[in-house]
Chain A
Amino acid sequence: MSVNGAGTGACAVCLRRTWLIARLAGAIELAWAARRPLPALLALTDEELIAALGGERRERLRAEWEDFSAAAARQRCDDRAVTAICRCDRRYPPALRELPDPPAVLHVFGDPGRFVALVEQDCVAVVGARRGTPYGLEQARGLGRGLSAAGLTVVSGMALGIDSAAHLGALDSAGTTVAVLAGGAERAYPASKRQLHARIAAAGAVVSELPPGAAVRRWTFPARNRIIAALGRLTVVVEAGERSGSLITATLSLDLGRDVAAMPGLVTSPASAGANGLIVDGARLVRGAADVLELLYGAEAGQLTATAPTPAALPGDLSALLERVGGGCDTVAALTADGTGLDSVLAGLAQLELRRLVWRAEGGRYVCRAR
């Protein structure tokens, strides 16, 4: 058994630990639903876990645990092109060791070498609501784009909405992004994100604490969130409702002594209530990738990242139109309400759309591209 070697060289002890967690996933679900805190559960030793959660199966579980075959587990990983990196491995991300309950093994779908390189860079976690508004989605994508362009790694959970938008933004530029899944890393969850899953695996990496084939459970989401929080030097919340799971991720980062930032939204928008609340509570306000870089590296760094083409290069009428859209006149009806001709508004909007300075969201609203 190699402790420091390459390949699927996770040690037997860690593999057995992971196997046990997956084996007890149902029991953990019950205990968690009965309000036993997750970190306390995941910090138990194998023996304690079996004793606490094994119930009537305790004896059989113990026997299975003793007979555990690391070779078979490695084979299962190999079969699904998943690389297991355990906490005895020197490639294991040091940031995760700061958790009270670090995952025994990280299963990497995608090039493991690239994953290691990605987490050696500074990582920023970008999280938010699954049902993002067009504004939030665009800001998350812009953030992903800008951070990746500056060489940082964008970490998120590949959920619908904000998470996916952040990954997409990173894929738009340098592709430096890591998705942490709540189920097996080799399978897209949610299934509708199959394409995104493949793109992240090809350009960045998809990882999971659980072995291949593991299904998601309710507790695996907060468990996954602790990994996202731990990997990120900073967590940025883009849009979160008052009781969103993204706020849990933010709390977890604070517990780890990491910074939390939030992107503000309209004070009247329920979609941004959580994010705005974080700012009130002292989270750093960021308006885009430049602000994040400034937060991490100081005043000059903000200018390093690529931004959208400057509207200054636009003909005057188009930049005036762009300003009006950004100012909240975001529908054709609103833009023509002051008597501006419909024809020129339509033609102008199409010009802006073609230049990718605005895009059209549901309800016929135009959204300015994030800077």
Chain B
Amino acid sequence: MAAVLSRVATFAIDGIDPRPVWVEVDVRPGLPTFRVVGMAGKAVRESRDRVRAAILNSGFEFPARRITANLAPASLPKVGPGFDAGLAVGLLAASGQCPAEGLERWAVFGELSLGGELRPCRGVLSAAEGARRSGLRGLIVPRERAREAALVEGIEVAAVASLRDVAEVLEGGTVPELPPAEKALPDSPDTEIDLADVRGHVLPLRALEIAAAGGHNLLMEGPPGSGKTMLARRLPSLLPSLSLDEALEVTRIHSAAGVQRHPGLARTRPFRAPHHTISASGLVGGGQVPMPGEASLAHHGVLFLDELSEFSRPSLEALRQPLEDGHATIVRGQRALLFPTRFMLVAATNPCPCGYAGSERPCSCSDAELARHRRRLSGPLLDRLDLLMTVSRPSAEQLRAPAHSSSAVVRERVLAARERQARRLRDSAASCNGQLDARLVRSHVRADEAAQRALGRAYDAGALSARGHDRVLRVACTIADLDGRDGVGVDDVMQSLALRLRVADSWEVAA
């Protein structure tokens, strides 16, 4: 009996991008073997056992021949379990147990259980985009993830539960329908967590509002229990909802990383709060199999670094490029993968290791401890933050007083300011002031004479770096936006300086 060859279209998820992969299966007489070639990763080699069990347990026959499966192109490393279904289907087709014609129109993506069920796996949205780009009619995916694949327009999605279902679709049977859409969730974020819980804190609340309105990075410094974490967690409640494009990007990243909380489109802005023991590659992406890091998982959302001074230096250094460029680049062999990282950075820290420097309680740190803490928090990362401020312990009186405002009220103002920015920036790549680079600051921020003179004075006083100069302008611009004005005035610059400068530092530096 002559050899039979089949070809199945599937996808490798490279970072977050789909790469078309052909599964070719060759079945010929000879000693019974099953080999997978073509730079297959460990998980792929392991899939042989799953494929064999799934085929047998689905009531198909596992051919006792010499079977060679090739994943092409061989130059692309293949990792992850998404190839299971493709391998099994290729084997069925090559052994005449399912029609090969259907394979020209459908791509197959999914992991198999030993029992022959198709199990959800990461990267379905990317695979669906790959299917559309390849001009295929549709994609056969695990039922649980079908809604995610259906977010891509222009392809048909077959939501299958088992290997049997796949064979049926390929035979030209009815295409199983999508599972019912999940109940619509409220499109505003978690309503449990509201700014109305925060007492006192006039200054931090104002800074939070400005940060939300302009997409600025923020550092809060204060003693333990003063409410830094509490404030940071309330930032998402002030942000506009995700646009459709943003939601798709977020979903693609979260799907590729396998961290979605529910199938389908992401609805809330991500809020990521990695622990301070995280590695540099955990933070910005990387690993043998390049995976998005926390910075990418926070794309279009908030990256919260609590206890900033505890993060390792390499981790903080690694954040510099993503902060500046809006993406992280991971180089693997000949390829450079780009992970989008447009997040708002919110950091919190104690003023010193014991936590009480500058507060009512005496600080018990040694001079060496203080110096080390200061060194850790100085330099390039701080220079990339727009708003730096102290959160001090609210007084008893403030704790008793009524709340200043609620998330809903502040969010209204934030949305109005964002709209103003979107109008002003419509012909540029940026959508809010926090994204303005030096060039865009020059072309899109209008500061009047007095404002420019004031900023010049601050710069000449040595209190600002060149980067800091632009950052002050960007924040000033947001302050004007919140006030319903397009031009930056001297008071906007002054407020911006008050929310950033720490002359105490430059004082110490002089020593």
Binding site for B on A (CB under 8 A): 130-131, 134, 160, 164-165, 168, 190, 192-193, 195-196, 270, 331-333, 336, 342-344, 346-351, 353-354, 356, 359-365
Beta-carbon nearest neighbor of B391 in chain A:
A364
Q: Which of B458, B491, B494, B499 has the most CB of A within 10 A?
A: B494
Whether A333 and B202, one on each chain, are in contact in the complex, defined by CB atoms closer than 8 angstroms, is yes
Known: A333-B392, A342-B203, A361-B358. A134 touches B511 (CB 8 A): no
State whether A364 and B203 are in contact (beta carbons under 8 Å apart), knowing that A193-B511, A347-B498, A354-B458 are contacts in the complex.
yes
List 19 additional A-B contacts (Cβ < 8 Å) besides A333-B200, A342-B202, A359-B507.
A196-B511, A333-B398, A336-B202, A343-B491, A344-B491, A346-B206, A347-B495, A349-B498, A350-B494, A350-B498, A351-B494, A353-B501, A354-B457, A359-B504, A360-B501, A360-B504, A362-B390, A363-B390, A364-B203
Q: Mark B377-414, 1 if CB is under 8 A from A, else 0.
A: 00000000000011010110010000000000000000
Minimum-distance CB pairs A-B, first 5: A363-B358, A362-B358, A364-B390, A347-B494, A350-B494
Give chain A residues whose Cβ lies under 8 Å from the Cβ of B367. 130-131, 160, 190, 192
Which chain A positions have C-beta within 8 A of B202?
332-333, 336, 342
B392 and A354: CB pair below 8 A?
Answer: no
Within the complex, the shortest CB–CB distance from B325 to chain A, in Å, comes to 30
Complex CA gap A343/B504 in Å reads 22
Q: Are B511 and A353 neighbours in the complex by a CB distance under 8 Å?
A: no
The answer, among B203, B389, B497, for a CB contact under 8 Å with A350, is B497
Bound-state CA distance A150–B503 (Å) is: 27
A349 to B389, CA, bound (A): 14
Q: Tell me the bound Cα distance from A94 to B499 in angstroms.
A: 53
Q: Is B461 an interface residue (CB 8 A)?
A: yes
Roughly how many angstroms separate A354 CA and B490 CA in the complex, as a whole number?
Answer: 13
Q: Which residues of A contact B363 (CB under 8 A)?
A: 131
Task: Tell me the bound Cα distance from A360 to B202 in angstroms.
Answer: 18
B242 interfacial contact with A, CB 8 Å: no
Which parts of B478-497 form the interface with A (CB within 8 Å)?
490-491, 494-495, 497
Measured CB to CB, the closest approach of chain B to A53, in angstroms, equals: 32
Q: With CB as the reference atom, state the residue of chain A lying closest to B454.
A: A354
How far apart sit A365 and B389, CA to CA, in the bound complex (Å)? 11
State the majority secondary structure of interface residues on A: helix
| Nearest neighbor of B497 in chain A, beta-carbon distance | A350
CB distance from B446 to the nearest CB of A (A): 19
Cβ–Cβ < 8 Å partners of A342 in chain B: 202-203, 206
User: B329 to chain A: closest CB distance in Å?
Assistant: 37
Contacts of B454 in A (CB 8 A): 354
Question: Given the complex of chains A and B, what is the CA–CA distance between A11 and B200 in angstroms?
Answer: 69
In whole angstroms, how far apart are the Cα atoms of A193 and B357 in the complex?
21
Tell me which of B490, B491, B498, B511 contacts A168 (CB under 8 A): B511
Give 19 A-B contacts (CB < 8 Å), ordered by A residue.
Answer: A130-B367, A164-B511, A168-B510, A333-B395, A333-B398, A336-B202, A343-B495, A346-B499, A350-B495, A350-B497, A350-B498, A353-B501, A354-B454, A360-B501, A360-B503, A361-B358, A362-B351, A362-B358, A364-B390
CA of A193 to CA of B510, assembled, Å: 10
Complex Cα–Cα for A354 and B351 (A): 24
- Closest chain B residue to A348 by CB distance? B494
B203 touches which of A164, A333, A351 (Cβ 8 Å): A333
Residues of A within 8 A of B203 (CB): 332-333, 342, 346, 364
In the complex, residue of chain A having the shortest beta-carbon distance to the beta carbon of B492: A347
Interface status of B467 (Cβ within 8 A of chain A): no
Q: Are A195 and B511 in contact (CB under 8 A)?
A: yes
Contact among B358, B371, B498 with A365 in the assembled complex (CB-CB below 8 Å): B358
Determine the residue in chain A with the shortest Cβ distance to B489.
A347
Taking a contact as CB atoms under 8 Å apart, the answer to whether A134 and B504 are in contact is: yes
Residues of the A chain whose Cβ atoms lie less than 8 Å from the Cβ of B494? 346-348, 350-351
A354–B371 Cα distance when bound, in Å, is: 26
Docked complex Cα distance between A333 and B461 (Å): 27
Q: Determine the distance from Cα of A365 to Cα of B504 in the docked complex, in whole angstroms.
A: 10
Nearest B residue to A333, CB-CB: B202
Q: Is the CB of B503 within 8 A of A359?
A: yes
Residues of A within 8 A of B180 (CB): none
B502 within 8 A of A: yes
Distance in angstroms from A121 CB to nearest chain B CB is 24
CA A344 – CA B491 in complex, angstroms? 8
Q: Which of B119-144 contact A (CB under 8 A)?
A: none
Give Cα distance in the complex from A130 to B367, angstroms: 9
- In this assembly, does B362 line the interface, its C-beta being within 8 Å of a C-beta of chain A? yes
Closest to B503 in A: A359
The complex places the Cα of A254 from the Cα of B452 at a distance, in Å, of: 55
Q: Which residues of A contact B504 (CB under 8 A)?
A: 134, 359-362
For residue B357, which residue of chain A has the nearest CB?
A362
Min CB–CB distance A357 → chain B (angstroms): 11
Q: How distant is A324 from chain B, measured CB to nearest CB, in Å?
A: 15
Counting chain B CB atoms within 10 Å of each CB, the highest count among A168, A333, A364 belongs to A364
- A296 to chain B minimum Cβ distance, whole angstroms, is 27
Contact partners of B321 in chain A: CB under 8 A: none
CB distance from A248 to the nearest CB of B (A): 20
Set of chain B residues within 8 Å of A350, measured between Cβ atoms:
494-495, 497-498, 501
How many Å lie between the Cα of A121 and that of B186 in the bound state? Answer: 77
Question: B497 near A354 (CB under 8 angstroms)?
Answer: yes
Q: Does B97 have its Cβ within 8 Å of any Cβ on chain A?
A: no
Q: Residue of A at shortest CB range from B223?
A: A363
Give Cα A349–Cα B273 distance, bound, in whole angstroms.
33
Chain B residues with Cβ below 8 Å from A344 are 491
Report yes or no: B371 in contact with A192, Cβ–Cβ below 8 A: yes
In the bound complex, CA of A349 to CA of B392 (Å): 18
Among A192, A349, A362, max chain B CB count under 10 A is at: A362
Q: Is B359 an interface residue (CB 8 A)?
A: yes
Q: How far is the CB of A363 from chain B (nearest CB, A)?
A: 3
Collect the chain A residues with CB atoms within 8 Å of residue B490's CB.
347
For the complex, what is the distance from the CA of A348 to the CA of B494, rounded to whole Å? 8
Contact of A363 among B201, B357, B510 (CB under 8 A): B357
Please give, as numbers and ranges, the residues of chain A lying within 8 Å of B392 by CB-CB distance.
Answer: 331, 333, 363-364
Considering the chains assembled together, what is the distance between the CA atoms of A165 and B504 in angstroms?
A: 13
Given contacts A196-B511, A333-B392, A354-B458, contact A347 B491 (CB under 8 A): yes
Bound Cα distance A299, B194 (Å): 62
Chain A nearest CB, measured from B351 CB (Å): 6
Of chain B, the residue at the smallest CB distance from A190 is B367
Q: Which residues of the partner chain B approach A364 to less than 8 Å between Cβ atoms?
A: 203, 358, 389-390, 392
The answer for the CA separation of A131 and B357 in the assembled complex, in Å, is 11
| Cα distance, A298 to B200, chains bound together (Å) | 50
Which B residue sits closest to A192, measured CB to CB? B371
Q: CA of A342 to CA of B479 in the docked complex: distance in angstroms?
A: 13
Asked whether A270 and B362 contact (CB < 8 A) given A346-B494, A351-B494, the answer is yes
* Chain A residues, CB < 8 A from B371: 192
Tell me the complex Cα distance, A365–B393, Å: 13
The closest CB in chain B to the CB of A161 belongs to B367
Minimal Cβ-Cβ distance residue in A for B398: A333
Q: How far is the CB of A206 from chain B (nearest CB, A)?
A: 15
**How far does the Cβ of B416 sit from chain A's closest Cβ, in whole Å?**
17
B-side contacts of A346, CB under 8 Å: 203, 206, 494-495, 498-499
**Distance between Cα atoms of A36 and B395 in the complex (Å):** 51
Complex CA–CA separation, A356 to B461 (angstroms): 10
